[in-house]
Amino acid sequence: MRTQAWGVLTALLCLVIASFATIDLQWQAFWSAEAVASMGRFLGEFVPPETSPEFIQKVIVGAWETLAMSVLGTLLAALLGMLLAIPGSQNRAEARTWTRTPVQWVLNALRAIPELVWASLLLISAGLGPFAGTLALALHTAGVLGRLYAEALENAPTGPAMALKAQGVGSGRVFFYATLPTILPQVMSYTLYRWENNIRAAAILGVVGAGGLGQLLAFHLSLFQMHKTASVLLGMIGMVACVDALSQQLRKRLT
Amino acid sequence: MKIQTRHLEARHRAYRSSDDRAIERLSLEIGAGEHVAIIGPSGSGKTTLLEVLACAMKPLSGSLSLDGQDPWQLSKPELQRLRGRLFLAPQVPPLPPRQRVVTAVLAGRLPSIGFFASLRSLIVPSDLPGALAALERFDLAEKLFERVDQLSGGERQRVGLARALMSPASLWLIDEPLSSLDPARLHQAMRALVDSANERGATLVTTLHQVDAALAFFPRIIGLRKGKLAFDLPSSQVTQEALESLYETSSNELCGADAADEHLGGPGVSVTALHCR
Amino acid sequence: MRRAEPIRDPATASRLFSILAGFALLWPLGIATEFRPWALFESDSIQATVRFLGTFWPIAVDPEFLRLIARETWRTVAMATVGISLALLLAIPLSLVAARVLSLSGLTGKMDQVPFWIRQSVRWVLIVLRSIPELVWALVFVRVVGLGPTAGVLAISLTYAGMLGKVYAEILESADQHSSRTLLRNGSSRMQAFFHSLLPTCAAELTSYTVYRWECAIRSSVVLGFVGAGGLGQEMDNSMKMFAGAEVATMLLVFIGLVALADRASATIRKVLG
């Protein structure tokens, strides 16, 4: 076991060294005096952030759009995730189901592709704007939540469900009366955790044209309007902080 | 519901691939409305027998007939309907921890209400008076709107029993109804269970570790030992020797049950004095 | 003990209210996100989708392209690895300062003012580093250092330094502090206390989280490629802009395979080192 550990550590070290060697980092470009100076100048352009009422209103609208994307996207993901988790899980007590492996593949594929890539792909069907972003969040998060829900389903105690099945109750009602109530605290916890993540993801999806604060940010950055960019950044940080706090409160009450 | 079995054989639920039988060549007949207690040491197959009678486990061989029908020859919808007419209460109360007692109890009557009515009842429980009445029988009325995880082990077990009162079943299969109850509650719970079964004319089959409770409340006792039928007698005819040979190598179980049952002994039944060593 | 008045469920009012409020909220959310699922099935949208999906098959497998993909995939992995390594270098000192376990003044009750505020400001630095998405850092750095992996590496190091720093501090604080406090009380320096008691206790958890974050960093590098940081992401962006479905399909498959591989590697490493 110890030799295995040393082997792994050496392999990791080789990976790190190889990475540093092959990546052409422009250290000089970054550490040279003029680069630092230009960086300083660049950062200085951010201050002071734009505070005109019309622009603040734009930021608020963008923030609302981002928030809506994250909420709707996470809700859709929870529904789709649960729909997939049921065939994608297998209870120890029952016979092997054939649906588990293919559905797990689908869930893995959904979650492997990052939200941004999904958004780029979906722009073709859904067009520019927050709709593509919402769908992208929904699809990626459905993969993540689906896997987490499936794990919860597989580890859940089967007593309540078996008792209802013994009474001849159909599987739909067994799910709502026994299985779901048993895993509900975990489901809520995972969903809230993903919502916290999704608000950050939603904020940047706009960079590829999917609406929200991200679109505003990319737009003003491309025009080198640094004051406005700074305001949008502050809006992003504020939005993330609010959602984190809200999620904390909900977590206390629901789980 | 009438039960008939012939040469029934089944495996323990946990040992899927083993050759050992949990019950062997078991033949019994239980008439509709009868009350029977099944006793025996641990591992004698009591729980497995209940599960087979509840059609929750297919027997390996032998025949089972409920109200004249072999459940395993029925079509799936007919089997589901048959299951709706029986009620199995496992030893560990099958209650989701975060569910409220009212919903947990009302779940007992799911076989008799439709799909959408069931879902609606999850949000706004229908038949609150029925649930309250069932809980009152077991002295739990004030816990109606509490959450299951806020109850003690004994209270949860009584909620599990109260569920039977909500079900449309004519066969009640109860596994160890008294295992978590403290001695003061044993009498009240057994009384409530037996009286309710009588009121509905339901067949009551119970496994019990507490031999004195079995003798006090049940007119017929079936003794199982190592999966085989040891005796099947009216409780007045159960002798001390029969009990001692049943629990032969597990005399601690027989004696241990003694102390807890000092509160029992209904009218007209002698509490067997057991001398161990 | 029969009740005369009808029994009322205390939870009904709040449940019905929550359901109504939930539905009421869905409407403005739908408006804000321009949620029009029927638009997906309009004829021109379907045509565009089908046409694009049609180009996915056959997937691009010519050797030249595959060599390019292999090179760019390695670039992506290298970017993630370098980024995480730099993040580590930044996160370790920050987390040591932010964690309260090594506080000398805190040994005897409440911490003094100056150390307290130093710790608080370091915590705030970590929060800021963490809250700004790495994509934003990358966008900014691309303007300063130009296109290429440098911007990506910097973006990853800063964001992940924030994440690693916060979690390292939490791990250090949740460990059993008895032995380290004893060492500090008996006069050993903070570094000695760290190396001799805290680090051995927490090493497994720290490594496990770091390896998990390395896996996340690989996914981040692909995303950063979309804003010019090179690697697999940039190639995917280029191919998508040209509607070259076959190339996008190959890259998606490679990417899914890469993520699965990293996932497996990460699980093995964590098992061996943990």
Per-residue pLDDT tens over the stretch B41-81 = 888 889 999 999 999 988 888 889 999 889 999 999 999 99
The alpha carbon of residue B124 is apart from the nearest alpha carbon of chain C, in Å, by 6
By the 8 A CB rule, do C135 and C225 touch?
no
How many interface pairs between A and B have CB atoms less than 8 angstroms apart? 71
Contacts of B123 in chain C (CB under 8 A): 15-16, 19
CATH code of the domain covering residue B67: 3.40.50.300
Q: Which range (A17-26, B200-209, C215-224, C234-243) has the least confidence?
A: A17-26
| pLDDT, tens only, A43-99 | 788 778 888 888 999 999 999 999 999 999 999 999 999 999 999 998 766 667 888
Select from 3.30.9.10, 1.20.1250.20, 3.90.1530.10, 1.10.3720.10 the CATH code of C63-273.
Answer: 1.10.3720.10
Our CA-based measurement puts residue C170 at a distance from the nearest CA of chain B, in whole angstroms, of 30
State the Cα–Cα distance between residues A207 and A225, nearest whole angstrom. Answer: 16
Domain boundaries, chain A: 2-44, 53-254
| Nearest chain C residue (CA) to B124 | C12
Interhelix angle A226-254/A212-222, rounded to 10 degrees, is 160
**Would you call B10 an interface residue with chain A, using a CB distance cutoff of 8 Å?**
no
Instruction: Closest CB to B132: pick one of C7, C16, C19.
Output: C7
At C92, give phi and psi (nearest 5°): -60, -55
Q: Is the pLDDT of residue B270 over 50?
A: no
pTM: 0.84
Q: How far is residue C256 from each of residues C21, C140, C216, C249, measured CA to CA in Å?
A: 40, 28, 13, 11
Q: Which of B114, B143, B165 is the last residue of a domain?
A: B165
B92 within some domain: no
| Residues B150 and B196 occupy one common structural domain | no
Q: Are B32 and B2 in contact (CB under 8 A)?
A: yes
Does residue B102 fall inside a structural domain?
Answer: yes
Give which of B45, B55, B50 is closest to B24, Cα–Cα. B45
**B103, pLDDT greater than 80:** yes
Average of pLDDT values for C220-239? 90
- Rounded to whole angstroms, the Cα distance separating B87 from B150 reads 25
A82/B177 Cα distance (integer angstroms): 36
Residues 10-69 of C with CB under 8 A from B: 10-12, 15-16, 19
- Whether residue B125 and residue C7 make contact (CB cut-off 8 A), yes or no, is no
Distance CA(B45)–CA(B51), nearest Å, equals 10
Task: Decide if B68 touches C, using CB distance below 8 A.
Answer: no
Min Cα–Cα distance to chain C from B206, Å: 29
The amino acid occupying position A200 is: R
> What's the burial of B172, exposed, middle or buried (CB within 10 Å: 0-12/13-18/19+)?
buried
> B26 with B122, same domain?
no
Q: How many Cβ pairs closer than 8 A exist between chain A and C?
A: 158
Contacts of A218 in chain C (CB under 8 A): 139
Q: Does residue B247 lie in a domain region? A: yes
Shared domain check, B153 and B70:
no
Domain containing B71 equals 1-85+169-277
Q: Please, what is the average pLDDT of chain C?
A: 85
Cβ contact A218–C139 (<8 Å): yes
Give the residue on B whose Cα is nearest the Cα of C15: B123
* Complex ipTM over 0.95: no
- Do residues A86 and A153 make contact, with C-beta atoms less than 8 angstroms apart? yes
Cβ within 8 Å, pair A72-C30: yes
Nearest to B123 among C1, C8, C15 (CB): C15
pLDDT at B258 over 80: no
| pLDDT the model gives residue B274 | 38
Nearest to B143 by CA among C10, B190, B151, B189: B151
How many CB pairs below 8 Å do chains B and C form together? 23
How far, in Å, CA of B148 to CA of C227, rounded?
Answer: 53
Per-residue pLDDT of chain A (255 residues; tens, 9 = 90+): 678 888 888 888 888 888 888 887 766 656 666 667 777 777 788 778 888 888 999 999 999 999 999 999 999 999 999 999 999 998 766 667 888 999 999 998 999 889 999 998 888 888 888 999 999 999 999 999 999 999 999 989 999 999 999 999 999 999 999 999 999 999 999 999 899 889 989 988 988 888 889 888 888 888 888 888 888 888 888 888 888 888 888 888 876
Pairing of strands B86-89, B171-175: parallel
Backbone angles phi, psi at B70, to 5 degrees: -85, 115
The answer to the question of residue B90 being in a domain is no
Query: Smallest CA–CA separation between C35 and chain A, in Å?
Result: 5
The predicted-structure confidence for B121-174, as pLDDT tens digits, reads as follows 999 999 999 999 999 999 999 999 999 999 999 999 999 999 999 999 999 999
Tokens of C13: 């009012």
pLDDT at C195: 82
A204: left (phi over 0), alpha (psi -120 to 50) or beta: alpha
Domain count, chain B: 2
CB contact under 8 A, C145 and A30: yes
* pLDDT value of position B268: 35
Rounded Cα gap, residues A68 and C31, in angstroms: 9
Domain ranges of chain C: 63-273
Chain B 161-200, CB below 8 Å of chain A: which residues? 167, 169
Q: Which strands sit side by side in the sheet containing B35-39, from one edge to the other?
A: B86-89, B171-175, B203-207, B35-39, B220-225, B228-234
User: Which residues make Cβ contacts (< 8 Å) with residue C246, sequence separation at least 6?
Assistant: C55, C56, C57, C58, C59, C60
pLDDT at position B277, please? 34
pLDDT reported for residue C20: 95
DSSP at C41: G
* Superfamily name with CATH number, domain A53-254: MetI-like (1.10.3720.10)
How confident is residue C155, by pLDDT bands cut at 50, 70 and 90?
very high
Q: Which of C153, C160, C170 is nearest to C206 (CA)?
A: C170
The answer on B233 and B135 residing in a single domain is no
In a domain, B125, yes or no: yes
The whole-number pLDDT of residue C108 equals 67
Residues 6 or more apart whose Cβ sits within 8 Å of residue C175: C101, C198, C201, C202
Whole-angstrom distance, CA of residue A150 vs CA of residue A157:
13
* Residue B135 within any structural domain of the chain: yes
pLDDT at residue B137, as a whole number:
93
Assess whether B126 and B227 both reside in one domain. no
B73 Rama sector, left if φ>0, alpha if ψ -120 to 50, beta otherwise: alpha
Q: Could you tell me if B262 and B179 lie in one domain?
A: yes
| Whether B211 and B81 share a structural domain | yes
